[in-house]
A and B are shown apart, each in its own frame.
Chain A
Amino acid sequence: QVQLQESGPGLVKPSQTLSLTCTVSGASISSVSYYWSWIRQPAGKRPECIGRIYTSGATNYNPSLKSRVVISQDKSKNQFSLSLSSVTAADTAVYYCARAGVDCSNGLCYTWFDSWGQGTLVTVSS
């Protein structure tokens, strides 16, 4: 059974860089069968996809965040990471890592999020 666990600072100062890591157990991030994603959710609001990474290293970012986001992977540790630069109070949210399946059998390769971490609250404040 796959488990995902977010880790990183819970408090980040404005203009600094938010850095989080997701440690995956029970599945390999080297698998061709999954995308590995970061999602955030401000209090009382809908989840927002930040971006995802595939085993090849290919990434896809939310256009609204693209200039500030980098998602990377460390296959030796079975981890993937999020870096969000120049943060403001608007970046305060619960940050989740999650897994979505890959199924290219009919052209479109996307599927739903089948596993999530428990989430970590990141507050941007001085």
Chain B
Amino acid sequence: DIVMTQSPDSLAVSLGERATINCKSSQSVLYGSNNKNYLAWYQQKPGQPPKVLIYWASTRESGVPDRFSGSGSGTDFTLTISSLQAEDVAVYYCQQYYGTQWTFGQGTKVEI
């Protein structure tokens, strides 16, 4: 299985400041035939299921604020929140859907 490792495990960011979360996969999730990275980012708030923010590593889901952005390719990816808002306090997960077994990172807790 592809192992997903996020860093850091937690971070505290001031309101209005930038938050950066990293995700590394144990093998490339870039598919050569279509040049797409099979990686998504989710936000999970307490008592709720994960909600997709980003797919194909950098495509924002409809309705997701543009302060959320994804970047990276191959094995190294980043989720950036450009200006942290109070409602962004949550745990963020990356997930690969390249292999037959889909796997998640261990999560990054973002606090104010």
Q: Which of B1, B93, B97 contacts A111 (CB 8 A)?
A: B97
- A97: shortest Cβ distance to chain B, in Å? 10
Closest chain B residue to A48, Cβ basis: B104
CB-CB under 8 A for A108 and B101, given A47-B50, A113-B52, A116-B50: no
CB pair B33 A110 closer than 8 Å: no
The stretch that binds A, out of B14-22, B34-42, B79-87, is: B34-42
Interface size on B, residues (CB 8 A): 27
Choose among B49, B50, B51, B52 the residue with the greatest number of A CB atoms under 10 Å from its CB: B49
Q: Which of A46, A108, A113 contacts B98 (CB 8 A)?
A: A108
CB-CB under 8 A for A110 and B49, given A46-B93, A47-B93, A100-B97: no
- Given contacts A46-B107, A117-B49, could you give 4 more A-B pairs where the C-beta distance is less than 8 Å? A45-B106, A49-B104, A111-B97, A118-B49
List the interface of chain B (C-beta within 8 A of A).
Answer: 1, 31, 33-34, 36, 38, 40, 42, 48-52, 55, 61, 93, 95, 97-98, 100-107
